[in-house]
């Protein structure tokens, strides 16, 4: 007999948190835990809803909280939870106060257990509000040791409530081969060494440093897959730096796996992270990785072993690492192979789901005492 676990995300975009939630739902043992997805309607989460549909996960759209409609939204969240009768409410936090209305609704509806996956920690919002929210949680599942440390230190979450379970992804048995037509489209009239950065165009991801680095790597095409509030500013910067002819802004893409296969190198110059899914996907695709030496990322990428790490906000170091791998294909292949092996061994969605289900069993207790069951 399986028990219902409702996954709730309050996002209005599709990013790493949403990708990680889909990987988790795909890998749950349905004989034990039957997932459902609760979300807010909107075009930005269409990929999340469509992805859940492909997995056979039922979806429930609930009103988004607004300044004048928070009570109505809370009532909608409570009604949805009442109808689902979950044994567990699993909220996915892209920042510490994400999903707070869902947590409140779960607490008011007396859902037997509420757990949260913390993808990132930011020093923002009210610390008191953060502590009150975590009081309602049975577990905070941090995706990295860095995130766990921040929740313990800054939010004062008790040790007994904290666990570290890294994000996991599907690791293909056979590495995808590049599509010559896609690669030709990316490099049309440009240098044919392709550097891919699939990330939301947001200050966090460090694209401004990437464009400065591009001025020091003349023989390469830089492909930016993603959209976000900085797109117009970054496109202007590319023009001002005279690298616009070698920078391709693709916008939001659903074919990141194909783009990775077509690329020579993956680069992520983030300023802060939790444990970026995009890095894991690049390693699974057996692409060499250059990333910044920041908490979370450095728990996946071992410098000189599974990739190269450089200081954040250092375009010169970033360009140097890129040029090094461009000039040394044997080193790039060695790092890529080691990265693929590490993500297969330590960061697969199967491993993540097993650890998360262990936590589910701990907080929900025996199946006979669950809040709801589904045969």
pLDDT tens per residue, range 255-283: 999 999 999 999 999 999 999 999 999 99
Q: What is the pLDDT of residues 26-75, one digit of tens each?
A: 999 999 999 999 999 999 999 999 999 999 999 999 988 887 778 888 99
| Residue 190 φ then ψ, to 5° | -120, 170
**C-beta atoms surrounding 71 within 10 Å:** 9
pLDDT of residue 375: 41
Q: Which residues pair with 251 in a beta bridge?
A: 225, 226
Mean local confidence (pLDDT), 286-296 = 97
Residue 236: half-sphere exposure toward Cβ, Cα within 13 Å: 4
pLDDT (mean) for 93-105? 93
Cα–Cα distance between 263 and 196 in angstroms, integer? 6
Task: Look at phi and psi of residue 307 and say left if phi exceeds 0, alpha if psi is from -120 to 50, else beta.
Answer: left
Whether residue 366 is predicted with pLDDT greater than 80 in this model: the reply is no
Buried b (16+ CB within 10 A) or exposed e, 7-16: bbbbbebbbb
Query: Which sign, positive or negative, has the C-alpha torsion 88, 92, 98, 99?
Result: negative
Q: Which pLDDT belongs to residue 371?
A: 45
- Residue 369 pLDDT greater than 60, yes or no: no
> Model confidence over 209-255: pLDDT tens digits?
999 999 999 999 999 999 999 999 999 999 999 999 999 999 999 99
Residue 291 φ then ψ, to 5°: -145, 175
Domain 180-346 has CATH 3.40.50.2000: yes
Q: How many CB atoms lie within 10 A of CB 189?
A: 7
CATH of 2-170+349-374 given 3.40.50.300, 2.30.30.60, 3.40.640.10, 3.40.50.2000: 3.40.50.2000
Strand intervals (E) in the chain: 2-8, 33-39, 59-61, 88-93, 113-118, 139-142, 162-164, 194-198, 221-225, 247-251, 265-268, 289-292, 308-310, 373-374
Strand order in the sheet with 289-292: 247-251, 221-225, 194-198, 265-268, 289-292, 308-310
pLDDT level of residue 122 (50, 70, 90 thresholds): confident
pLDDT at 37: 98
Closest to 81 in 3D by CA, of 149, 4, 23, 144: 4
Report the percent of the chain where pLDDT is more than 90.
Answer: 86
Round the average pLDDT of the chain to a whole number and report it.
94
Report which DSSP code applies to 149: H
Average of per-residue pLDDT across 76-88: 96
Q: Is the pLDDT of residue 373 over 60?
A: no
CA distance linking residue 187 with residue 213, whole number of Å:
19
Please, where in the chain does CATH 3.40.50.2000 lie? 2-170+349-374, 180-346
* pTM of the predicted structure, to 2 decimals: 0.90
pLDDT recorded at residue 374: 52
Rounded to whole angstroms, the Cα distance separating 310 from 293 reads: 5
């Amino acid at each position: 007999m399986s028990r219902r676990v409702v996954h709730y995300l309050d996002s209005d975009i599709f990013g790493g948190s949403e990708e990680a939630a889909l990987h988790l739902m795909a890998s749950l043992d349905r004989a034990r835990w039957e997932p459902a997805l609760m979300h807010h309607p909107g075009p930005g989460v269409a990929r999340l809803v469509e992805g859940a549909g492909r997995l056979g996960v039922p979806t429930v759209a609930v009103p988004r909280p607004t300044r004048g409609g928070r009570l109505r939204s809370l009532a909608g969240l409570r009604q949805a939870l009442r109808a689902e009768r979950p044994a567990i409410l699993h909220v996915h936090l892209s920042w510490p106060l994400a999903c707070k209305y869902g947590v409140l609704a779960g607490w008011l509806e007396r859902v037997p257990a509420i757990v949260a996956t913390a993808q990132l920690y930011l020093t923002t919002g009210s610390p008191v509000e953060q502590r009150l929210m975590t009081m309602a949680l049975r577990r905070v599942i941090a995706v990295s040791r860095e995130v766990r440390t921040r929740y313990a230190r800054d939010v004062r979450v008790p040790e007994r409530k904290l666990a570290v379970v890294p994000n996991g992804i599907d690791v293909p048995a056979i590495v995808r081969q590049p599509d010559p037509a896609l690669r030709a489209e990316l490099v049309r009239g440009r240098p044919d060494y392709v550097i891919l950065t699939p990330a939301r165009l947001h200050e966090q991801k460090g694209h401004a440093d990437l464009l400065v680095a591009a001025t020091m790597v003349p023989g390469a095409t830089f492909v930016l897959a993603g959209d976000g509030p900085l797109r117009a500013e970054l496109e202007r910067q590319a023009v001002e730096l005279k690298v616009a002819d070698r920078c391709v802004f693709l916008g939001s893409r659903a074919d990141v796996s194909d783009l990775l296969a077509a690329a020579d190198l993956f680069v992520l110059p983030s300023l802060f992270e939790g444990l970026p899914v995009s890095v894991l996907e690049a390693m699974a695709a057996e692409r060499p990785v250059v990333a910044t030496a920041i908490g979370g990322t450095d728990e996946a990428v071992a410098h000189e072993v599974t990739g190269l790490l450089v200081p954040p906000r250092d375009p010169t170091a970033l360009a140097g690492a890129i040029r090094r791998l461009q000039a040394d294909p044997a080193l790039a292949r060695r790092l890529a192979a080691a990265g693929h092996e590490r993500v297969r061994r330590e960061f697969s969605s199967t491993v993540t789901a097993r650890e998360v289900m262990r936590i589910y069993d701990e907080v929900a207790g025996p199946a006979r005492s669950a809040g709801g069951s589904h045969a």
